[in-house]
Structure 1
Amino acid sequence: MANADNAMQDAKVDNSTEKFKKRKLERLDKDGNVSTKPNFYGRKKTRDEKKKQRQEELVELLDRKAAQAEAAAKAAKPVPKNILSGLCPGVKGRNYTVSIALPGSILDNQQNPELRSYVAGQIARAAAVFNVDEIVVFDDTENKKDNEDGHESKRSRGVEQLTRILQYLECPQYLRKFFFPIHPDLQFAGILNPTDMPHHLRGDDISIYREGIVSRTKADKEGHCLVKIGLKADCTVQMVLRPSIRVTVKLNDGYEFDRVPTGTIVSPSEPRTKAGVYWGYTVRVAKNLSSVFTGSTYKGGYDLTIGTSEKGKTVDDITLPKFEHLLIVFGGVGGLEQALQVDDKLEADDPKELFDHYVDTCPNQGSRTIRSEEALFVSLSALRPIIKNCQIES
């Protein structure tokens, strides 16, 4: 009797064990139905399976890291703006220019050479960001005369340093070693924020326009010259020019496939007038405020002038007519009043008499003063939509 009871208990144990195993193997599929396929998750993995899984995880990790590195490289690499691989029929050029004028004395007010370089760099950045075509640096300090011969002293130190740094930051990187030797004014220029304008091209950037310098090496063909344009090979142009001068070159189509690229010399304004691409700014030095107006390099001079001052009319209340050459003048520490006072050639009593518009670009300012480099960003930001709207043809 005892043996029969033991047999029945063993049968029950075996039956429950089989049900447990079957339940463990059962799982639901996507539709919610019971699947009787073997469940391999319930058993131990073999050494080969573990090795294969580790390899798959490692490959997945490496792929993920490679994708992250590629994304970081793309984000860090400067994206070229408005660089042309060719001229399109529908592209419109920009026929008007925007010039700014400011005194070099804003650097004389800085405490050390590092700050002087920084302020000059901020001015160059503002000009590049807002597509300024010309920067005029004028002297608003009083001319001191020598007691012996009566000659006027040289222009202020700030004018010279500001002009040199602005020219340096506008020049493409691959041309700076040809035009700018070591100079104390450029001691801290290397750590300034780059302007990164469209004509600051890398070697792998494709653009039909490039800035270059005429090489001293003679070309193989007679009547031609070589121009260094930042590529591995010098460009050949059908023109004989004096060496070491800066030129703008328009390359022929498909130049990137040529062993020796060829092109033609064009005006520096052609990328702007024909393709609408901003091509940097020029720097002009004026002896005083009156020379800012009379020494214009544009034919007919400036047809619209704007003076900036906290005493002017609010910028929100002005409308500008359509123009060809706009000039925006900024004052230094003493404002435009100081520049007017030291200029003997101007007979006006108030600076607003010199301009078509006398504008306050930052009404209700919270600070007692606005620094010159700050005024550039504020004023150009406020005037940008007004300038754009007045150029739209009705």
Structure 2
Amino acid sequence: MASHSQSKKRKRNNVVVHQAGVAASSDGADTSKPTAVFKPTKGRSCTLSIALPGSIIANAQSHDLKTAMVGAIARAAAVFSVDEIIIFNDGQSQKHNAERQKRYSNDYYNDRRRQDEASGYTGFSDPDNFLFHMLSYLETPPHLRRALFPLHPNLRTAGTLPSLDMPHHLRADEWCQYREGVVSEPSSYVDNATQHGDPTLNKRKKKQRDDDAPNTTAGAAVPVWVDAGLPSPVRLDPPAAIPPHSRVTLKFADENDPGAYDDLVAEAVDPSAPREETGLYWGYQTRPAGSLSAVFTECPWDGGYDVSVGTSERGVALSSLLTAAGEPAAKGGGSDEEAHGLPQSFQHLLLVFGGVAGLEVAANADPELAGKGIDGKSVGAMFDAWVNLVPNQGSRTIRTEEAVWLGLMGLREYVRRNAGET
């Protein structure tokens, strides 16, 4: 059997995710997957957000269907570089649960509800929470999931879902100047080295004792170690007061692969830094909202969303608002021209999808909107554009997880042009 040191020699060369050059096959085709998929050229300050109701989960009849639905939405968000997903309450989850109770005998329904509550499973009792939980899990890099997500009934079949494979889902043999990690317990650095038979354990153990020694001195900084999915932990410099088991975005000083991973040092940065500084797509943030109006009022960006697009079969055709090159067409195409136009550029774009009954019922269930005189008939006036994604559709219904793909595809060139992508 080969020794541990011998196995290290067979390690393949690292892939640099943001490298400028690309590999090519004999016929000139690009064969380097990471660089072929994503090649940012500059930083990006604009963002793309989508919002959808958790009631779509309540409408799914089984756990497998609920899980598959989440996977389809997460894949769309990853493919089209969505920066934020908002899960809002449209008031329909309770209605679906009531209909489910009528469909089954009371004994069956009550037994199932009690089992769900006892286990913590929220697919039936709290669909908004289920969708939020699953989307957050899928966005998290695989090497961090065990540390950040305890075993939970919601996740029992999450392993069957396809990988999102986003730029921040880095393998151990891939290098990027930015990386996601989890802050370790103070003692775990030495424990991990002991577990893996690290030949430099004594030297590094002594180094940690020396680093930890200032703990007895008032005002001295305590070293903070981060598990970033690399062979060795990463030390934060400057040290930050981040609690153990917290997720953190790291930035290394050099964008080039150092070749060796002992004693790596990085600084903690804002999760938006990879996008704003280099243009890297760094996953999506997931945010819950108690109502349709809360999607707007609780926006995390100063000034809110400057462009909002609502979707409905009663809207105008999206194609009528955009040219083939993704530029906004002349305003118009509907009875209310003020609600059916797209500006030439945006900073924060929001695309909102309805559930089974549409955004109209979400507006009717929102007391804040009712106080402003907005109901299901006038909800389109809330948005800069009120669009129909598939005019003259062949099916009676378009499922929300299908609409997400259609909407993001329809706006793709508009988003790319705004970001200056080629």
Decide which of 138, 143, 160 is 2:129's aligned counterpart: 160
What secondary structure, in the 3-state scheme, does the structure 2 residue paired with 1:174 have? helix
The answer as to whether partners of 2:58 and 2:93 remain within 8 angstroms in 1 is no
Return the alpha-carbon distance in structure 2 between the equivalents of residues 261 and 82 of structure 1. Answer: 28
Q: Does 1:235 find its partner at 2:237? A: no
Which amino acid is 2:43 matched to?
G
Alpha carbons of 1:192 and 1:258: their partners in 2 closer, same or farther (altered >3 Å)?
closer
Report the alpha carbon displacement of residue 78 of structure 1 after superposing the two structures with TM.
Answer: 9.2
Q: Does 1:128 find its partner at 2:128? A: no
The answer as to whether partners of 2:44 and 2:419 remain within 8 angstroms in 1 is no
The answer as to whether partners of 1:212 and 1:249 remain within 8 angstroms in 2 is yes
Report the alpha carbon displacement of residue 310 of structure 1 after superposing the two structures with TM.
Answer: 1.2
Residue 251 of structure 1 is matched in structure 2 by 252
The answer as to whether partners of 1:214 and 1:247 remain within 8 angstroms in 2 is yes
Return the alpha-carbon distance in structure 2 between the equivalents of residues 156 and 341 of structure 1. Answer: 22
1:1-150 matched pairs, under 5 angstroms: 79-81=33-35, 91-141=41-91
Please give the TM-score of this superposition, normalised by the length of structure 1: 0.73
The answer as to whether partners of 2:275 and 2:281 remain within 8 angstroms in 1 is yes
Q: Does 1:383 find its partner at 2:352? A: no
Q: Does 1:173 find its partner at 2:134? A: no
Decide which of 304, 309, 313 is 2:312's aligned counterpart: 309
What secondary structure, in the 3-state scheme, does the structure 2 residue paired with 1:280 have? coil
Per-residue deviation, residues 148-199 of structure 1 (Å, max 9, x unmatched): xxxxxx9961101000000000000010001111111111111111111110
Return the alpha-carbon distance in structure 1 between the equivalents of residues 163 and 276 of structure 2. Answer: 25
Return the alpha-carbon distance in structure 1 between the equivalents of residues 258 and 287 of structure 2. Answer: 34
Residue 196 of structure 1 is matched in structure 2 by 165
Residue 261 of structure 1 is matched in structure 2 by 264
1:201-220 matched pairs, under 5 angstroms: 201-217=170-186, 220=208
- The two structures, once aligned, show a CA RMSD in angstroms of 2.6
Report the alpha carbon displacement of residue 266 of structure 1 after superposing the two structures with TM.
Answer: 1.2
Residue 66 of structure 1 is matched in structure 2 by none
Return the alpha-carbon distance in structure 2 between the equivalents of residues 258 and 159 of structure 1. Answer: 41
Report the alpha carbon displacement of residue 358 of structure 1 after superposing the two structures with TM.
Answer: 0.4
Residue 59 of structure 1 is matched in structure 2 by none
What secondary structure, in the 3-state scheme, does the structure 2 residue paired with 1:92 have? coil
Report the alpha carbon displacement of residue 389 of structure 1 after superposing the two structures with TM.
Answer: 2.9
Which amino acid is 1:105 matched to?
S
Residue 36 of structure 1 is matched in structure 2 by none
Alpha carbons of 1:78 and 1:340: their partners in 2 closer, same or farther (altered >3 Å)?
farther
Return the alpha-carbon distance in structure 2 between the equivalents of residues 305 and 156 of structure 1. Answer: 31
Per-residue deviation, residues 339-376 of structure 1 (Å, max 9, x unmatched): 01111110313210111110112122111110111101
Return the alpha-carbon distance in structure 2 between the equivalents of residues 304 and 110 of structure 1. Answer: 31
Report the alpha carbon displacement of residue 259 of structure 1 after superposing the two structures with TM.
Answer: 1.6
Decide which of 370, 374, 378 is 1:348's aligned counterpart: 374
Residue 338 of structure 1 is matched in structure 2 by 361
Return the alpha-carbon distance in structure 2 between the equivalents of residues 79 and 390 of structure 1. Answer: 26
5+ residue gaps, structure 1, are 1-70, 72-76, 145-153
Per-residue deviation, residues 278-307 of structure 1 (Å, max 9, x unmatched): 000000000011111101111111111110
The answer as to whether partners of 1:131 and 1:278 remain within 8 angstroms in 2 is yes
- Aligned pair count reads 306
Decide which of 358, 366, 370 is 2:386's aligned counterpart: 358
The answer as to whether partners of 2:58 and 2:127 remain within 8 angstroms in 1 is yes
The answer as to whether partners of 1:323 and 1:391 remain within 8 angstroms in 2 is no
What secondary structure, in the 3-state scheme, does the structure 2 residue paired with 1:377 have? helix
Report the alpha carbon displacement of residue 143 of structure 1 after superposing the two structures with TM.
Answer: 9.0
Alpha carbons of 1:78 and 1:102: their partners in 2 closer, same or farther (altered >3 Å)?
farther
Alpha carbons of 1:143 and 1:359: their partners in 2 closer, same or farther (altered >3 Å)?
closer
Return the alpha-carbon distance in structure 2 between the equivalents of residues 138 and 83 of structure 1. Answer: 32
Return the alpha-carbon distance in structure 1 between the equivalents of residues 93 and 153 of structure 2. Answer: 24
Report the alpha carbon displacement of residue 383 of structure 1 after superposing the two structures with TM.
Answer: 0.8
The answer as to whether partners of 1:103 and 1:139 remain within 8 angstroms in 2 is yes
Return the alpha-carbon distance in structure 2 between the equivalents of residues 255 and 266 of structure 1. Answer: 20
The answer as to whether partners of 2:55 and 2:127 remain within 8 angstroms in 1 is yes
What secondary structure, in the 3-state scheme, does the structure 1 residue paired with 2:274 have? helix
Return the alpha-carbon distance in structure 2 between the equivalents of residues 236 and 110 of structure 1. Answer: 45
Return the alpha-carbon distance in structure 2 between the equivalents of residues 83 and 93 of structure 1. Answer: 17
The answer as to whether partners of 2:93 and 2:127 remain within 8 angstroms in 1 is no
Return the alpha-carbon distance in structure 1 between the equivalents of residues 348 and 252 of structure 2. Answer: 29
What secondary structure, in the 3-state scheme, does the structure 2 residue paired with 1:375 have? helix
Report the alpha carbon displacement of residue 83 of structure 1 after superposing the two structures with TM.
Answer: 9.1
Which amino acid is 1:231 matched to?
L
Please give the TM-score of this superposition, normalised by the length of structure 2: 0.68
Return the alpha-carbon distance in structure 1 between the equivalents of residues 160 and 419 of structure 2. Answer: 37
Report the alpha carbon displacement of residue 392 of structure 1 after superposing the two structures with TM.
Answer: 4.6
Report the alpha carbon displacement of residue 258 of structure 1 after superposing the two structures with TM.
Answer: 4.1
Residue 300 of structure 1 is matched in structure 2 by 303
What secondary structure, in the 3-state scheme, does the structure 2 residue paired with 1:124 have? helix
Return the alpha-carbon distance in structure 2 between the equivalents of residues 202 and 184 of structure 1. Answer: 27
Report the alpha carbon displacement of residue 116 of structure 1 after superposing the two structures with TM.
Answer: 0.2
Return the alpha-carbon distance in structure 1 between the equivalents of residues 411 and 260 of structure 2. Answer: 43
Residue 324 of structure 1 is matched in structure 2 by 347
Return the alpha-carbon distance in structure 2 between the equivalents of residues 332 and 172 of structure 1. Answer: 29
Higher relative contact order (CA 8 A, sep 6+): 2
